Chain A
Amino acid sequence: MDGKKKQRLEDVCSLSRREILKGLAAAGALASIPAGLFKAEAWERTRYQSGLKTFRNACPRNCYDTCSIVTYVKDGAIEFVEGAKESTFTDGALCVKGFSYPRRVYSPDRIKYPMIQDKRGSGNWRRISWDEALDIISDKILEMKQKDGSLLGMALDKYSGNFGITHYGVEGMFSSLGYTTRFVGTPCWPAGIDAQNFDMGNMWCNDPEDMVKAKYIIVWGGNPAWNSVHTMKFIYEAQARGAKLVVIDPILTQTAAKADTYIRVKTGQDGALALGMAKHIVEKELYDKEFVTKYAKGFKEFKAYLDKHVTVKWAAAETGVSEKIIRQIADEYAKADPATIWIGYGMQRHTNGGASVRSIDALAALTGNIGKEGGGARYGHLSTWGFNYNAMVQKQPEGSVGYTGKDKIKSEFDQTAGETQSYSDRTININKIAESILTTDEPPIRLLWVACKNPFAQDFDRNKMKKAFAKLEMVVTVDQFFNETVQNSDIVLPCTTLFEENTVNVSYWHYWMSLNEKAIENQYEAKSDLEIAALLSAKMNAKVAGSCTFPQITDTKVWMEKEFNDGIYKYFGIKSWEELRNGPKKAILTSTASWSDKKFGTPSGKYEFMSDLAKEYGHKALPEYKERRKPYGKFRILTPHTQFGLHSQFNNIDYMEDFNKGPLVYMNPTAAKSKGIKDGDTVKVSNKTGAVTLKVNLTENIAPDVLLMYEAWFKGKDFNVQELVDDTSSDMGTFKTGAPGVAIHDQFGDIVKA
């Protein structure tokens, strides 16, 4: 490099662009600069900076991994985030979604103020003050109370948008107003929960970190390489120690690509495959005789069922997997010690999903892998969720009138003991929201409050949902972005991100607990769910004294502190929550295996191959084969999770668009050829529920009669997989979650070139 030339150029460019912009800002001249430039200046970085202030955060998304986050803050703004190294599960890393958080917090698309829409769906939004917004809402609540004599016309639609424990304050807010209508159950995992409860008396998985001890791993209908990225390192470690990884899935997923053997099973035929394997194990006497006689109930009956009704040949025909392979994996699985099965949530989203999970559980029981470190039939657990649910448990105002109908049902996360009351909330299956809004009467649902949920993106039969919303008198949505549910609301209230509040988080998979600290001030006029509840309470009481019991505490830290108890402290080996400021804590486990003492939570105290409870709930007592839903279209339509989003969250962020441009439907090239469809063509996928138009990607990762698209909400696109998913129930879920799940993956349809 010519030193002279370099010198000259540096003279010319003596002020960097950044310095020029700073100068302009100081001179007040920035107002005349295009907005894009100003934003870039505020956002740009080329250097890593050390010495920043750090805060503890926890990702509250509905995800296995529930990451412990460290947030680096400078001058009150988030500079960057990273995974906490103190957690051996998070181990310093986040996923693509977690790393997009700073951009999400400062997204130009965030909803900044309370707003009211002149006509739903018109897009004519006007900014209003918090006071005005709460005035309108409280007037409506009081009007309903006057008209109906109760608040049963007021319904809450909330699920898993934020799993911070204090977010159960939204339910608390509803209780504090009176007896209301609640959507209960879960669209996620209820069939599997019931199955494991019938078999073992609880859903309780091993510590995922103990998967390193497994000698044989079957990932069945789950895709951790996308949906539990942090667990992959434990699977790899097991593989490095000699374990074989088998992935069973209708899709050659990213996890399947990491397997030693990938088995493409016919969708919804997992039960037949498991029973075929069980048959081989019993036939060859490879089962654990001590376990099935000492710790299990109904082995004899199960064996008799297998003897009479199951052959490996039959299983091969039902599953599309050859007899030889079924025998081979059954043999390998039974002989490996310990061997583990990870049961994904995808495989139970079927009309026979619960029955299939029971059949898989039976394999683990047959081989004595339950209660064993490195073994197990892993599904999930809630054993670290023993908080006070103080924010959730609020008293109805005196004199409240409620529902007098039959049984109350509650969330799988609700660990409070039910009180006996004459009145209760009116409960409706969360998976039938559209149908219920249309048909519920006396009183009808007049006001819908949506929080931590995006029903238009996640709930089934979008076209029915449109009709249902049209019937509602008022819709209030608490959210961060103008998604489709917000578009169909009257009032939107902006809520804070995890970095703007205090709470505490645990996982339904691993055994860590993380503190979530308020790292930055509330952005714009955003408020947390708890602040909103406290403000609504103040407004209600100003209008009618005693009309709302919600404490007027707006400091989320006060609420967070109230969630801890001695049981939690003891389980995690801490004296105070403040210790969590030094990093996440893992529960002190006597064994990494669940059920290590072989004392099960079933009525018999044993593993129940034969469950009277299952029978009571209308199922077979034994884990028998249950036929899958009959196809109602030429192609099966699968709509599982993408790696770029957590349901409808994250795909709309511009940073995510850099890596995930838009929706695609995946199709097998053989099928495409017969339809004259080429890679990249625009196609229309339709069925009895609705239709979507999008680009096609040809891939042999799926069978010729399967279409695949990932559920997501993209900014500015009307793509929505719920156009194609009806609200047909899965078989189980009523026992533990109050309502059955949804057969999300039992959908069918056709595809044509658009």
Chain B
Amino acid sequence: MKKQLAFMVNSKKCIGCYSCAMACKNQYHQEPGVAWRNLQPLEAKDYPHRDRAFFSLSCNHCEKPVCVQVCPVGAHVKREKDGIVVHSSDKCIYCRQCIESCSYHAPKDNEVLQRAEKCSMCFERIDAGLMPACVQGCPAKALTLVELSAPEAQKGVQYPKGFGKFTQLNPSTRFVEAKAPQLVLAAKDN
């Protein structure tokens, strides 16, 4: 198996604090309205309490990334050495094909600068021996980086409830599902 770096999203630990999403904006200065990483609150069918469990999502750095396939200028490249799908927005011609093709909506539409943008897993940080900005920035240690073949990655699931199942892409992100507390509820306040 080829080496594949992947995000491990532990929703059991995630506190929905948005630090990861803002850490990304802090690092790359995304235009207002553009967020390469964001939180997806779990719907009622997947978690019983509204806005209390989340998936922190950006690019899933798929095994067979559709963005790489559709990009006419080779702006999306899957790195051989670690499977990171790197996007070079300076090559982007704003044809919007990646934006429209990705089932996970990882490429974002920057209407101001007229280009597609997405998470490249902070590959320059990784090359410099650092963690991605979002991973380092997670105060709850809920977002981590794993090598897919490592034992810790096996603790995660690939398609948890509430996450799209697109097997042809084979997304690398792994998840630990959120738990709900035992409830003891006063029936009313007064």
A residues near B (Cβ < 8 Å) are: 1, 5-6, 9-10, 13, 16-18, 36-37, 40, 43-50, 80-83, 91-96, 98-103, 225-226, 229-230, 232-233, 236, 247, 250, 252, 254-267, 319-322, 325, 631, 636, 643-644, 654-659, 697-701, 703-706
Contact = CB atoms under 8 A, between A and B. Distances in A.
A1 B186 contact: no
A16 B94 CA distance: 12
Contacts of B53: 257
Interface in B163-184: 178, 180-184
Contacts of B140: 225, 229, 232-233, 236
Interface stretch (B59-67, B98-106, B108-116, B152-160): B108-116
Contacts of B18: 96, 643-644, 659
A705 B189 contact: yes
Given A229-B15, A658-B33, 15 more contacts: A17-B113, A48-B133, A100-B26, A225-B15, A232-B139, A233-B139, A250-B189, A320-B185, A320-B186, A321-B184, A659-B21, A700-B49, A700-B50, A701-B50, A705-B189
A48 B124 contact: yes
29 contacts: A1-B72, A5-B72, A6-B73, A17-B114, A46-B89, A47-B124, A49-B124, A82-B137, A93-B136, A93-B137, A94-B137, A99-B23, A99-B137, A102-B29, A229-B19, A233-B140, A236-B141, A252-B52, A259-B181, A260-B182, A266-B189, A320-B185, A320-B188, A321-B184, A654-B32, A655-B22, A658-B34, A659-B18, A703-B186
A229 B128 CA distance: 27
Contacts of B15: 225-226, 229, 232, 254-255, 258
Contacts of B186: 264-266, 319-321, 703
B22 to A, nearest CB: 4
B22 A100 contact: yes
Given A50-B124, A257-B53, A319-B186, A103 B139 contact: no
A529 B33 CA distance: 34
Nearest to B131: A92
A266 B185 contact: no
Given A92-B137, A94-B137, A705-B190, A99 B184 contact: no
Interface size class of B (residues with CB under 8 A): 35 or more
B90 A16 contact: yes
B17 A229 contact: yes
B125 A9 contact: no
A326 to B, nearest CB: 10
Contact of B17 (A17, A96, A703, A704): A96
Max count, chain A CB within 10 A of own CB: residue among B33, B88, B139, B181: B139
A230 B19 CA distance: 11
A101 B49 CA distance: 31
B18 to A, nearest CB: 4
B181 A9 contact: no
A95 B16 CA distance: 11
B122 interface: yes
Contact of A45 (B29, B72, B141, B190): B29
B78 interface: no
Given A1-B74, A226-B15, A654-B32, A233 B26 contact: no
Nearest to A78: B26
Contacts of B133: 48, 80, 82
Contacts of B72: 1, 5-6, 9
A622 B109 CA distance: 63
Nearest to B136: A92
B181 A10 contact: no
A80 B181 contact: no
A261 B26 CA distance: 36
B13 interface: yes
Contacts of B29: 43-45, 102
A235 to B, nearest CB: 9
Contacts of A91: 139
A48 B24 CA distance: 10
Contacts of A701: 49-52
A524 to B, nearest CB: 20
Max count, chain B CB within 10 A of own CB: residue among A46, A230, A258, A703: A46
B84 interface: no
A266 B13 CA distance: 27
A225 B13 CA distance: 10
B136 to A, nearest CB: 5
Nearest to A268: B189
A252 B49 contact: yes
Given A16-B90, A232-B139, A703 B13 contact: no
Contact of B189 (A322, A636, A698): A636
Contact of A83 (B50, B137, B190): B137
B31 interface: yes
A703 B124 CA distance: 48
A261 B180 CA distance: 9
Given A229-B19, A260-B181, A655 B190 contact: no
Interface string B31-63: 111110011000000000111110000000000
A48 B185 CA distance: 48
Max count, chain A CB within 10 A of own CB: residue among B27, B31, B89, B190: B190
